[in-house]
Amino acid sequence: MSSTRVTRRDVLRGVSAGALAAFSSFAFAATRYATATTRSGKVHGSVEQGVHVFKGIPYGADTSSRRFRPALAPVAWKRARDALEYGPACPQPGLAEPMSEDCLVLNVWTPALRDGAKRAVMVYFHGGEFSSGSGSSAIYDGTRLCHRGDVVVVTVNHRLNAFGHLYLGRLRGAEYEASGNVGLLDLVQALTWVRDHAAEFGGNPDCVMVFGQSGGGAKIATLMAMPAARGLFHRAATMSGQQITAAGPRSSTLRASAYLDALKIPAADLARIDTIAIADLVAATRAPDATMIGRALYFGPVLDQVSLPRHPFYPDAPPQSAQIPMIIGNTRDETRAFLGNEPGIQQLRWEELPQRLLPHLHVDISPEYVVAEYRRLYPQYTATEVFFAATTAGRSWRGAVIEAELRAAQGSPVFAYQLNYRSPLDGGRYGAMHTMDIPLVFDNIAQAGSQTGASAEAQRTADQMSDAFIAFARTGSPNHSTLPQWRPYELDRRSTMVFDAQSQLVDDPRGAERKLFASVPYIQRGTY
């Protein structure tokens, strides 16, 4: 940020006529300011490229005094509050953004305020499992969606990792029975804020869509089974993010005990965790997991029978959300994003492939059998291509298929997609990797962080995907004029929209791979 930038606060406090004369003719012609009224007080946002933008609006109170418990409403403010900068993210390792326990903030992009237009509201939940990330990335900027679809866009920060999912119910009693899910209850609180303020920001409280990628999709799948979220959203779209099962009280308590051991907090002094330094709380999240070898502690939703009374998608799709239309999507080469730089992975030999596959399949199946089946199905594939195809099918795609199948069996409206558009980075070695659909859906292919490139093919793919999500937000159907007819996913055909520069509807793409991995049980990692 430039040190010479003149903010609205500078103007309100009074700056010299000379400073304004030197700067205002340019700065204030480029940016105007807008005021919205929330239940906690007025907020001042900006008008940029014709879009009203409000950043860092509190939807909940500072959680530092209520660690591991449901948040309270934000403390009201008397004077108008600037909403010109993103708010802090939840504390986490390695994030180069401001962080704080006072992280219950959201951001709004809207074409207009209080005009009665009743626009669809698109609320995005960021990825990073349930442990990292924020809603402040440039790639989530809602400006282009607002222009494309005349919609309201919202992104959200909330509690993550131990701050949002440390289950203390069996260690500290009834007051902490929901502690394993307070990060999700934050999202419920954010959606309640959206419902209550939609009209003020030009939106329709009865036409709210939630969408999210990776962990954001998993959060949505879990909210679909949480009674507190009932009625707060009316469409749902998950992008490379599924949640079939939640962790139970056994594994969650084992993890909590391992976390407390890392903090050197004995069972007789558990209250000390309420005042321990944030840096120590963050450092302890790197402790080894209590049930999974070779990774740091997993934090995620907990089957506590209180805030989450059932698994998200086990044994069936959640009945409370049966009438909510849903999009379930994945990318063709998910695991190239996080396994693509493994040592030697681009030069794999067939004889070493089974051993390299074994720890990454995430289902317990013979890797030799998997390799033999892939070589039969795709004789043209190299060992490296088999590695990425098999790890994607067994690890990332499997949960999406299960959710789509259960929704279809329930008779609920569900649309499936697969992204085939390949990243041009590094000669195309990353393919249609995890995260590729984010800039395409937001129509932000030129933003920092996009891996799509800005070619005409990338823009055509973005046009089709973003228009589909906008149409879905408005009507519950993703169909629009520049896309082939997108039929719902039904078990007899398994129709799937394959997005690319030339998109097409395909029945049961990769059906043989689907059947291969359906031969063994699936339990979501981290939930046992």
Mind giving me the DSSP string for 182-201? Answer: HHHHHHHHHHHHHHHHTTTT
Q: Residue 214 catalytic?
A: yes
Three-state secondary structure call for residue 236: strand
Neighbours of 256 (CB within 10 A): 30
Q: Residue 334 catalytic?
A: yes
Catalytic one among 214, 240, 307, 450? 214
In terms of phi and psi (left: phi > 0; alpha: psi -120 to 50; beta: otherwise), the region of 182 is alpha
Token pair 């009374």 is found at: 309
Neighbours of 252 (CB within 10 A): 29
- Burial class of residue 70, CB neighbours in 10 A (0-12, 13-18, 19+): middle
Show the CA angle centred on residue 436, arms to residues 435 and 437, nearest 5°.
90
Neighbours of 366 (CB within 10 A): 14
Q: Residue 434 catalytic?
A: yes
Q: Report the distance separating Cα 45 and Cα 55, nearest Å.
A: 7
In terms of phi and psi (left: phi > 0; alpha: psi -120 to 50; beta: otherwise), the region of 89 is beta
Catalytic one among 434, 450, 480, 513? 434
Largest pairwise CA distance in the chain: 77
Of all helices (H) and strands (E), which one includes residue 44?
A: strand 41-48
Three-state secondary structure call for residue 490: coil
Q: What sign for the dihedral angle of Cα 509, 512, 518, 523? A: negative
Catalytic one among 101, 177, 334, 373? 334
Q: Which residues are catalytic?
A: 214, 334, 434
